[in-house]
A and B are shown apart, each in its own frame.
Chain A
């Protein structure tokens, strides 16, 4: 174990939580959000949708199973830091290649432990997500607070450019299965081609698309509809991503054209409000967002409830849905919109994360649904 050093989590409202540092010994500022998932800290930290956000884990024992390249959701971790009650100094899992602290250090992210994370969570729940910093400058809190208050707020912030790819690439890896998994089905041969807009795409989405027989061309977020269609895809996928969806105007414009072209479109997470905005709906910022792996979502077409993985700070206002756009899924916690479909068109989206990783696999049927739409009709 490296030497312990004091670090503080400072919130823009002036609350200071003092703890000990792990990972990279740097100051990091971002929007502080809490995540209630018990498992999957590594997937969370490496999920590009957390760009610009400091994640507080409500589960208290984090890092027990260390880190492994297999559980990364993106090549680089872009969140702004990790706040935990207790970080494990060891990695106890047969797949682990390093400890959580060593991994965070290697990707340049700060962590803070020995924090009353429940107290932090209650502040965020009651006062909303807010800016904050993990800082080793514990003797200069006033200066830190100034830097925090000068930091841009999430509203109106387009963070996609920070996480999207710069050039298109092809993906052909299926999902991870344990070596002895008797329930795993053989990966089908590639029969379809999907162009995926990368707003900060999670690799497990790509793996899931491959699992249903799709070759995926991942393209930068600024790709125009014409450029995408020129790749002759059977369908287009709009990925997850960080920031305010209303600020991603280029993607909204492209989506409007793609939908008009009649090509099947499937959106997840950021892709969902982008689709909604493209059809004229409005979005709004949730007080503290949805970040966890236990949210119940009801499929309004079947009445069934799925337990979902969630990570978003903005939502589509169901009252703003124009004619021709149907609400298909709602969150049973707060009745917010979780799924949309365009009437008479092969186009749908969900706000939550059917690709899981981390989280339950209840919603993976949506990839099969998308795959079915790719068949000529």
Chain B
């Protein structure tokens, strides 16, 4: 059937901010869908609150609503746009949940829109675990024994039957939020209560455990004629018990006979048909008992998922694009396979390589959380690697992760070389398990014992063992002096030059030189969906150490873009957005674009994005190897965040031509001493600072600068181990706690550190600003935008909300800030993007930090001002001037507010207090005519429901009492009842306010947390300082979080909230497409 003629316009729901369990993969799927539907002449309407996405670029849809993903907002969009249909299966769980909520609220019926892809009935059957289980029983499939419960008592009764351990799965939550494994009654009670609270429908499934079974996923696509294909099979290396998002996964499935595989295939197709997913991609998960082959169905997702993004990248079959086309009526055989060009999409890809996906964790950001993996997803990103063998792909995946690991180089630390300790460690799944296993093998762990401890399939263990043992060989055979055969064998196993060098005590460059002298160089093979049965027309490539190279580089002028690698906190989708824009710019300039990246979730790794794609680790070795083959005219390292930026100097040293700002300018900006000279030369102010390499030096610096201080190690990403220090004791405590991270040796008085420590004057009560500029080779500079942070200076800029244009600073300050930014761009010789962070305190402007590269805020600014800054910058880096491009400064009339979202819910026991260490995973944008409305939207989009009435609770530090009083008065004027901890209450009462006092948690019950738990509090303002006070008040903030109460931990944040409340109390927020804001 060709496309349905009755469809005129389709609304796509995006997935909102990046959170654990929902990342760039939905930008990838949504972007594909937008393109696919517009190709068909359909009007595409998009709603997504995440400005860092490619899909929300105004040119990708006909009407782009960067609005909160709520039923109310969707209702308003539908009223304006009146689309024929909604495609809800491409926006992750968020998109599906919003569509379901809209249906339940009668909105879909009201506007007469149909759901494409999956019906309400199908979605319910797939998502509701009881209905799903019944459906499976109807088609002869088994699910784990389970029962839905709505109370702790019911849960206890179920576990009486199925026994411990019991798997807890709350209904309708994302990435398994609130779920887990309970091993005993005490854990059960606590976890069930928590999980029920997380579930929007207050129910959860208690399920029989199949821990240790093998886990598989199949990606299925179905069309309206009931043609079904399996795009990819994926096997989890980590057996059941670890969330698939946290598992190392391998494609294709490695340890299934054809009979077993076909059984999974048959079951998958039967499930698609029974659930009734009419068109598009779905994902089905199975567990298999390794001892007798028994099979159970774990779940199915009636939508495009993280796994389908992985499957698309792993096979070259674009599931989201095909899903969009099928949704509007096409059948698989009517669609073409883009890669072969001669065969249809109605086939099953076959792959002649092995794909390994490796999760990236961020436990270092949450030191109080336990680094143990379970049914709730905790990873923040992933890397994918392709090799011809599992071992090669695994080796490449390890070095793709950007954890500083080049092989099984586990930091010895606590585990040391203690086999017993390692055995105990690998028995519990954790983020480092694979590396621990490798180390344990080197120390003599047997394969049988490893299988007993981990239940990982012996076939995988064999290869991990092989790779680990080869490392020992390197030690004895040497690196740079090894024979050709040895080098070739190690490279074929996936070992990095860096690891060979480290093991043999050689220099990495020397190993590489020796290897190349022996002719041991990688070749590039193509991902072609068909195992080379047909010629591939898409240069989507990966490296391997084999005979034949298929890269066939062109002789065109070409530019290579280095991507951002796996998502992590501090480096995410924003940088992929910039890289994709660089690629678009190159296309507009007629320059061949070559993308290098290893993150399977992204738009940049879509083979459609650039002229050529190398799916490779972003290490010096891998990038140089591609340069050897492609010989690019220029390389862009400034758009992918820290990952490629770190390569700037070594690449330049290797003679690779870098585009834009010279590597030396990056060093001048990042090296404190050199930057100090720049500041002095320009006559600009920076906070006083010093460098210390020991506790003694730190004390001396502190004495010179004066407290409070901001302390951090040099060269870190996302403000890791960055803290405010208020006094001498605080400084000692910092050394004590962070010594390991700082590469410290001695503890106590004589403490010294490996990396220099940066100590800055901390500007109390300063307003922070972020400025993004683009500069060209003529020295012309355009300020893209000035953003005022809503939180005070001291909160990591990545964790601050901000407003563009600024909302509280006078014009002359803003002009001064722009002037200073321009001066710095010229002085540093920036060609391309530069970001400056300023602080304004007492009317004085201070420069906090300069980064001559794409910043996290580029996509937000671009959307706020309607100018694609990254694209402009890429053109400028290729030689264009701003004048030629017609780029001028302008300040928009509307206001855009960026707000961030945090993964606190996923990490039990973690304090939610904001600080200098970045912990947010994603961002949203609120856009409206004024600050109050834009801020209100940003909160709504971030999932914060600002109350317009009820009781507000205040507990503030002494320094904030004056400010709190003014806030309390405004709350009172808005009709809120006031409660406060006794100290704050007494202060407010003196001012004549009617405030009820509440106990702090330490003061005995009933206390403020009880009040929150019993629903008596609707708004929380809590500021605090000093380690003890922070610790004492943590439960208060956790209670606000878990009870879903709007809370603010800074007064500036609270004030902004009040402005929003004042507006939303009396009127509804309106929606408007981005295209209409210009």
Contacts and interface: CB of A to CB of B under 8 A. Distances in A.
Given A36-B352, A183-B140, A360-B348, 16 more contacts: A34-B531, A38-B350, A61-B254, A94-B290, A116-B546, A116-B547, A118-B531, A118-B546, A118-B548, A121-B532, A121-B533, A176-B259, A179-B293, A296-B344, A305-B225, A361-B262
Interface in A84-113: 85-86, 88-90, 92-95
Interface in A122-160: 122, 125
B259 A94 contact: no
A43 B258 CA distance: 8
B142 A36 contact: no
Contacts of B140: 181-184
Contacts of B353: 60
Contacts of A359: 258, 262
Contacts of B731: none
Contact of B343 (A39, A71, A333, A361): A333
Contacts of A305: 225, 227, 331-333, 346
B455 to A, nearest CB: 13
24 contacts: A39-B256, A39-B258, A39-B261, A42-B258, A43-B258, A61-B254, A64-B254, A85-B352, A85-B388, A86-B388, A88-B459, A90-B462, A92-B457, A95-B257, A118-B532, A118-B548, A178-B260, A178-B293, A180-B294, A183-B266, A296-B346, A298-B333, A332-B333, A332-B344
A368 B347 CA distance: 24
Chain B at the A interface: SS class: loop
Given A60-B353, A61-B254, A183-B267, A122 B532 contact: yes
Of A34, A295, A333, which is in contact with the most chain B CB atoms at under 10 Å from its CB? A333
A84 B659 CA distance: 43
Contacts of A61: 254, 354, 389-390
Contacts of A122: 532, 548, 550
A356 interface: yes
B525 A118 contact: yes
A36 B548 contact: no
Nearest to A332: B344
Count class of interface residues, chain A: 35 or more
Given A61-B254, A90-B462, A360-B265, A179 B547 contact: no
A179 B257 contact: no
Contacts of A176: 259
Interface string A251-290: 0000000000000000000000000000000000000000
A367 interface: no
B347 A333 contact: yes
B82 to A, nearest CB: 34
Given A36-B530, A58-B531, A296-B347, A119 B546 contact: yes
A354 to B, nearest CB: 13
A171 interface: no
Nearest to B261: A39
A295 B981 CA distance: 71
B1031 to A, nearest CB: 50
B291 interface: yes
A294 B317 CA distance: 13
A54 interface: no
B506 interface: no
A40 interface: yes
B848 interface: no
A255 to B, nearest CB: 30
B531 A71 contact: no
B516 interface: no
Nearest to B226: A304
A71 B141 CA distance: 24
Chain A at the B interface: SS class: loop
Contacts, number: 187
Lowest 8 CB-CB distances: which A-B pairs, in order? A40-B258, A58-B531, A119-B548, A358-B258, A182-B140, A183-B140, A92-B459, A39-B258
A94 B292 contact: yes
Contacts of B1021: none
A243 interface: no
Nearest to A86: B389
Nearest to A181: B263
Interface in A209-240: none
A59 B227 contact: no
Contacts of B351: 38, 59
A117 B547 CA distance: 10
A112 to B, nearest CB: 14
A357 B257 CA distance: 10
A294 B292 contact: no
Given A90-B458, A332-B346, A356-B262, A180 B533 contact: no
Interface string B532-544: 1111000000000
B229 interface: yes
A92 B255 contact: yes
Of B141, B229, B295, B348, which is in contact with the most chain A CB atoms at under 10 Å from its CB? B348
A65 interface: yes
A366 interface: no
Contacts of A179: 292-294
A119 B547 contact: yes
Interface string B401-419: 0000000000000000000
Contacts of B458: 90, 92
Contacts of B294: 178-180
A293 B531 CA distance: 12
Interface of A: 17, 34, 36-40, 42-43, 58-61, 64-65, 68, 70-71, 85-86, 88-90, 92-95, 116-119, 121-122, 125, 176, 178-184, 292-296, 298, 303-305, 307, 332-333, 356-361
B348 A60 contact: no
A125 B343 contact: no
Interface in B648-677: none
Of A34, A39, A356, which is in contact with the most chain B CB atoms at under 10 Å from its CB? A39
A106 B850 CA distance: 70
B852 interface: no
A97 to B, nearest CB: 12
B347 A295 contact: yes
B270 interface: yes
Contact of B350 (A90, A294, A304): A294
Interface in B508-537: 525, 530-535
Contacts of A40: 257-258
Contacts of B252: 38, 59
A64 to B, nearest CB: 5
Contacts of A85: 352, 388-389
A71 B257 CA distance: 9
Interface string B214-226: 0000000000011
A95 B293 contact: yes
A333 B141 CA distance: 34
Interface in B337-362: 342-344, 346-354
A17 B547 contact: yes
B389 A60 contact: yes
A329 to B, nearest CB: 13
B589 interface: no
Nearest to B390: A61
Contacts of A119: 546-548
Contact of B295 (A89, A116, A178, A304): A178
B257 A65 contact: yes
B53 to A, nearest CB: 33
Nearest to A70: B259
B841 interface: no
Interface string B5-24: 00000000000000000000
B139 interface: yes
Contacts of A356: 262
Contact of A37 (B267, B349, B350): B350
A85 B348 CA distance: 22
A304 B457 CA distance: 38
A123 to B, nearest CB: 9
A127 B458 CA distance: 40
Nearest to A307: B348
A93 B257 contact: yes
